[in-house]
């Protein structure tokens, strides 16, 4: 179980670095930051929940956690990108 938390910590740091790189490339206001952070936390929680549940011999709990938290995190990511980041990219794109 110790390796799980080590890998989870590494994924958290990589997610933070990825969000910083994303914010340098695309314009993100505070609402986009909140949406991306919530989506990232849900996906990381999904990984931790699912791995711990399968390790403890509870596959149904792991599958439900994967479904509930993983899909929820992906939906939050998609909505944040679609409603907050993509319109900001289109506003800043040069018009021909």
Tens digit of each residue's pLDDT (9 = 90 or more) over 4-18? 889 999 999 999 999
Q: What tens digit of pLDDT does each residue of 33-83 get? A: 999 999 999 999 999 999 999 999 999 999 999 999 999 999 999 999 999
pTM, entire model: 0.84
Closest CA to 61 of 72, 50, 73: 50
Cα separation of 1 and 13, whole Å?
19
Cα separation of 29 and 7, whole Å?
30
Q: What token pair was written down for 33?
A: 């930051």
Average pLDDT of 22-43?
92
């Amino acid at each position: 179980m110790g390796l799980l938390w080590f890998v989870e910590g590494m994924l958290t740091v990589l997610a933070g670095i990825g969000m910083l790189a994303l914010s340098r490339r695309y314009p993100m206001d505070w609402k986009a930051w909140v949406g991306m952070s919530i989506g990232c936390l849900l996906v990381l929680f999904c990984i931790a929940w699912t791995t711990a549940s399968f390790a403890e011999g509870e596959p149904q709990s792991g599958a439900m956690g994967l479904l509930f938290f993983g899909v929820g995190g992906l939906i939050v990511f998609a909505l944040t990108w679609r409603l907050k980041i993509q319109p900001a990219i289109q506003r800043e794109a040069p018009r021909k």
